[in-house]
Amino acid sequence: MTPSPTPHLSPSPAFDPSVRHELKVSKDAEEWLKEVGPTIFKNYEDIQKLWNHPMTQFSVTLGRDAEFKAGITQMAESHAGARFYGYEALLILLLWIFRAWRLTKVNTILTRMWTQAWVGFCYWICALFLVPSLVWGESYRTTITHLIRAGFRHFFA
């Protein structure tokens, strides 16, 4: 008995923002869409515009990214939601106490505004990156990395 040959996967093509994807539909579907289309879309070209919209292509790219989907799946199956909410509540409590302490030390309204702003900024950085990274680890970092890369490819290329 000879082992079966391993399948060879070709590399996926690089993203080219100048290429517009053509929406392929059968003739029957196209006729049906032209009949029903006026109630859903004003004209058939709206569907093509929707398909070629950067957010649609961004979503399609993320949907095809295996590492992004694996990271999302690992985070969803980890059952670490309670720990995540506990860490977020602890972060809110700590920064609430820290902000109250800092606001007792300042006298002017501008210094108070500055204190509110930088403590709020620190909260959002910790809440969006530090706490989820502590809870989900590498899967969260991989997911965020692929999300940022896809965003740069589609919106800043």
Whole-number Å distance between alpha carbons of 111 and 104: 11
Q: Which of 145, 154, 157, 156 is nearest to 61 (CA)?
A: 154
φ, ψ dihedrals at 58, nearest 5°: -60, -45
DSSP 18: T
Q: pLDDT grade, residue 7 (50/70/90)?
A: very low
Q: What single-letter amino acid sits at 19?
A: V
Asked whether the predicted pLDDT for residue 156 surpasses 90, the reply is: no
**pLDDT tens digits along 33-66:** 677 666 666 666 777 788 888 888 888 888 888 8
Instruction: Give the ranges where 1-108 is alpha helix by DSSP (H).
Output: 27-40, 44-52, 54-64, 66-77, 81-105
